[in-house]
Chains A and B, each alone.
Chain A
Amino acid sequence: MAVCIAVIAKENYPLYIRSVPTENELKFHYTVHTSLDVVDEKISAMGKALVDQRELYLGLLYPTEDYKVYGYVTNSKVKFVMVVDSSNTALRDNEIRSMFRKLHNSYTDIMCNPFYNPGDRIHSRAFDNTVTSMMMQVC
């Protein structure tokens, strides 16, 4: 269960960012922003190979004391960043991958909407529902 999920456009501005509404949300925004550097590094490192061979899932970008940051990039350089609580053990890599896949699917569904201009902020309720299902339930 993620603590914060963000969708970053190719030009590195956020299309969608949502966190668990606990304390300082700005902290998550900052984390996501700094993790973009790591994403760029990974992309450029792998970018020497052909695009086909490039993995979409980037894996763990940046672990800190409290949480871990995972990254995923699409072929159109749209990045998904997910911040996960470190104390939430047993979140395996596969689960993260599947979460990213779901996100990606939701994202492509948004793209199919002709009223959505790529580069706009994402307001789709379907996408919101997907994200909500992945976020940690803080009751």
Chain B
Amino acid sequence: MEPGSVPGSGSVPGSLLLALSEGEQRRYAELFARCCPPGAAAAAAPEAAAGSVAELLRASQLPPDTLLQITEVCGAKRVGCFGPAQFYIALKLIAAAQSGLPVRIESIKNELPLPRFMAMKNDSEIRYGNPTEPHGVKFQVPHATLEKNSYKRTDEGDKQEPKSPPMSPICSPPASPSSYQRTHLSYGYGKSRNGLEQQHGAPYEVRHSTHQQEGPASGNYGAKSTRACSTLNRSLSVEREAPDSSAHYADDPWRITEEQRDYYVNQFLSLQPDLNAFISGSVAKNFFTKSKLPIPELSHIWELSDVDCDGALTLAEFCAAFHLVVARKNGYQLPETLPETLLPDYLQAASLKPIRDCALFDSYSEPLPGSQQTRDFNRLEKTSAEEVPDNSGVIKDASKDDKQVLKTSIAIKPIPKEFQHTTKIFVCLFLFLLRSYSSTSIEDAMKKGEEPPTPPPRPQKSHSRASSLDLNKIFQQNAQAARSGWLPPPPPALPPRPSVTQTEQASEVELHPQMTRPPSQAEENSSAKKEVVLAQLPSKPVRRKFRMETQALENPELSPTINVTSSLPAVKPHLPVQKQSSKQKRAIQTAIRKNKEANAVLARLNSELQQQLKEVHKERIALETQLEQLRPVTVL
């Protein structure tokens, strides 16, 4: 951006000095930077890319001949490109045209509001309208919203703090330039406007700063809110009247105010009493059909709002859909893609933060199993009703899994839809734990969610999993390698051992009558072996396992532990050590026996399955050759 490089003087025919206010300058600079091909901004003679400028012009929603006039007047045609001066002049002219002034050089001498651009494809439908002057003439916005903007201002003022942190991380990457620009806008206006905005410095404050000048008192707020509350009690057919009370738009009609949200949530509850469950497709269809919008539009709204494409709406999706319906009824064109303020991630974050943070998640994990069944049932119903083939359902699940994985990495999204997969349940339960422990900031929660979940504590030497013996062997090897690292060089440790074991046995016999004779005797007998064994590498005792008896096998394992425990904390009394070692020994013995049996069983099973697989392969080959023979030759 080069605000300084265009010091307000354009090389305009007639040598007009363009006085740009600070705010205007910033705005134009960022718009220009956006239109510039990246990297060209730093060039000596930056030029706005014609395509993006054309888009910008179109986004201003002026009639095409006006746009043509603008391009002529600003000198772009003459120069052949949109240099900074031409661009700035063009923006000024757009502002003039939008205010109703003729497109001429003279008109830009006046103080003008900033140009308004609608629905730019680049930045996911965020509207940039921000008239600063009190004429309050807004072209594309229905008049009804004018008063409501003020209401939204005070409303949003409170919500700025909690909402602003969630905004920046949740902005999806394509929207990040727009959020970046919004911050610029906020800086531009924060200084010249209300001190309220200055405190926040948040991305969305520009929306509210612009309506400072509109004058209508915040007394409207009270009136509106009571009106809105009264509508909550009406029946579903109130959707037509809903726009009156709930169409509280700032200049960004895609944001949902708290009032609207409450209204939507109540509607959701009327359809589906559980906040965490889904509204099925047919129910939603009936509901939205009452709004009397044409079916293709409703279809499009559904496409936009059902983000995970599962044929059902969560609370957030429902709010987004409802909001889109309301917007459409108010005359807004439906966007091509879902605005980011309507993304379920954002809505979820926004809804959870102020009001129902822990409560929602407390109930979140509980109905998981319950709603899982209903969810599956719904899916089955839908699939049978719509004749969706099982295969495609599986394919869809697989793709949805991918999408879901992506989404969890982007933001914490409620995952109740992927119930079929226990891994997802694990993830969401884990996220629930994260939520309840972490701070209220969504950023932190998101970052934690992005980190890999901490693995469950590794079972120390316990053979809890009925896995093959190999894993355990490897584990013990590592453990022993680790332990031997703790040891002082083995030879010095050896001499004390016989005494240690003998004292152990003596104390064991005294204190642990449960300790059976044979093990202790075997220990005595093999104490000599232990010395030999330990002198070797730590891996060798493990290998010897297969040759020696089980009891003797224990000893190599035990001896490292004994040595460790004796060497490490000399202060530690031997008694607890011996208790642990004997218990460990027994546990290990039984575990090893079980694992061996399991291993044998699994090996047998494996060989049988291999056999079956071979047979099936043979069959398949035979069938394929048959098929080839039978298939008529159609391809020429």
Interface residues, chain A, CB within 8 Å of chain B? 38, 41-42, 45-46, 49, 56, 60-63, 74-76, 101, 104-105, 107-109, 111-116, 118, 123-126
Contact = CB atoms under 8 A, between A and B. Distances in A.
Given A45-B632, A60-B635, A115-B285, A125 B311 contact: no
A75 B395 contact: no
B284 A114 contact: yes
Interface residues of B, number: 37
B608 interface: no
B302 A75 contact: no
B399 interface: yes
A66 B563 CA distance: 81
B21 to A, nearest CB: 40
A42 B282 CA distance: 36
B631 A114 contact: no
Nearest to B312: A112
Interface of B: 280-282, 284-285, 295-296, 298-300, 302-303, 306, 309-311, 336, 382, 386-393, 395-396, 399, 623, 627, 630-632, 634-636
Contacts of A125: 300, 303, 336
A20 B42 CA distance: 39
Contacts of B634: 38, 41-42
B390 A75 contact: yes
5 contacts: A46-B627, A63-B636, A108-B388, A108-B393, A112-B309
Given A45-B630, A111-B388, 20 more contacts: A49-B627, A61-B635, A63-B636, A74-B389, A101-B395, A105-B396, A105-B399, A107-B392, A108-B392, A108-B393, A108-B396, A109-B396, A112-B311, A113-B281, A113-B306, A114-B284, A115-B295, A123-B299, A124-B303, A125-B336
B624 to A, nearest CB: 10
Contact of A108 (B282, B306, B395, B630): B395
Contacts of A75: 389-392
Contact of B311 (A41, A61, A107, A113): A113
Contacts of B284: 114
A104 B389 CA distance: 11
Contacts of A56: 391
A109 to B, nearest CB: 4
Given A108-B395, A113-B281, A76 B299 contact: no
Q: Which of B282, B284, B396, B623 has most chain A Cβ within 10 Å?
A: B396
Nearest to B313: A114
Contacts of B630: 45
B281 A112 contact: yes
Given A41-B634, A76-B387, A105-B399, A116 B392 contact: no
Given A45-B631, A126-B303, A114 B311 contact: yes
B310 A112 contact: yes
